[in-house]
Homo-oligomer: A and B are copies of this chain.
Amino acid sequence: MKIFIPGIDGYIGWSLALHQLSLGNTVCGIDNFSRRKNVEEMGSHSAIPILSMKKRINLLKKEYGDKISFFKGDLLDAQFTDSIVKKFRPEIIVHLAEQPSAPYSMIDQEHNIYTQKNNVIGNLNLIHSLQRHVPKTHLVKLGTMGEYGYDPGLEIPEGFYEIEFRGKKAKVPYPRLAGSWYHWTKVHDSNNIMFACKLWGIKSTDIMQGIVYGTKIDEILDEKYNTRFDFDEAFGTVINRFCAQAVIGHPLTVHGKGGQTRGFLALNDSIKCISLLIDNPPKDGEYRVVNQFDEQYSIMELAEKIQKIGNKKKLNVKIKIKNNPRKEAEKHYYKADHHILKKLGFKRTRNINDEIEIMLNHLMKFKENIFEKKQAIIQNIRW
């Protein structure tokens, strides 16, 4: 299978490329390296050193030859995007080339506009090229569980639900009530893709992914294959950031009550889930929404979990309650379906405790890298 991965230089993009190549598939990736630049803008870097793209590709070429190719470029460049899709003719596109940070999008107007333009327009350019050149290709799009938000206090189905209103029943989209500009760009994308499926008969899986954590996938055995690992306030997601804090003896900073509940998924399982969805595409014209996470936890539960595991390693982990810099409920009802992936055969690789332990062990080797940029962990981006 020929798989096109916009965003191949990222945390998930690089991991997915390694996994898909190991399965014998052909991968073409593009990236504009915005993640490296944006993390630098936040005064940080990847805790785990990663190779330049040139070195990454040379490494893979030795192993996989022509099955891997890379082009530097941007989905905002419609001509560039079109030329790659036209030439490579992918059977699958896994779109991972979005600005993925809620806090980054909330810094100011400029960062909001950048995020909206990058995500919404980039996605549109991609789907227009898909429709033009490879209309039977399956678009796998990375969305987020955060598209639903948590406001209505309802159980969260996978994309659609059946309701009754004034005596009439209908299956309609579940409301999306996102909590940051970034999350709203993902909603706009979902809406544009849902329409494209109806309009053009293309097929797409829109992944509502939980928060991903971890440093290792099965294909990362040698350090030279490492994927990036961010821990700064904008690009470090919560479990990863807590583990980075634990490793350098910084208290785990919980926002407010810590009752914020979300779905979580290990990086290794994220890659496995995406690959399951690749192997089980929707029908032509179908817009399939899949909730992709393993378990739900509150932020405080996670902090306590990491504290416990860290303390066994004599890390002396403290938890510090911090005034919540965000406008969000600190305690709320949260119960989301995640049936589709289970039906397709998804089983977690490791439980979260083992995964956290592996992560802490891995990060301890790069303690100095985290310590060097520790001021980037808390920057108080407020909303």
Contacts and interface: CB of A to CB of B under 8 A. Distances in A.
B109 A78 contact: yes
How many chain copies?
A: 2
A70 to B, nearest CB: 25
A153 B125 contact: no
A290 interface: no
Contacts of A321: none
Nearest to A109: B128
Given A165-B163, A327-B199, A124 B152 contact: no
Contacts of A112: 124, 128
A220 to B, nearest CB: 37
A201 B121 CA distance: 28
Contacts of A171: 152
A181 B113 CA distance: 20
A128 B172 CA distance: 32
A186 to B, nearest CB: 11
Contact of A188 (B163, B168, B191): B191
Given A116-B120, A117-B117, A188-B188, A163 B163 contact: yes
Contact of A125 (B78, B109, B120, B191): B109
Contacts of A43: none
Nearest to A194: B177
A117, A153, A181, A188, most chain B CB atoms within 10 A: A188
A173 B198 CA distance: 22
Given A154-B165, A163-B163, A163-B164, A124 B116 contact: yes
Contacts of A177: 172-173
A41 interface: no
A113 B192 CA distance: 12
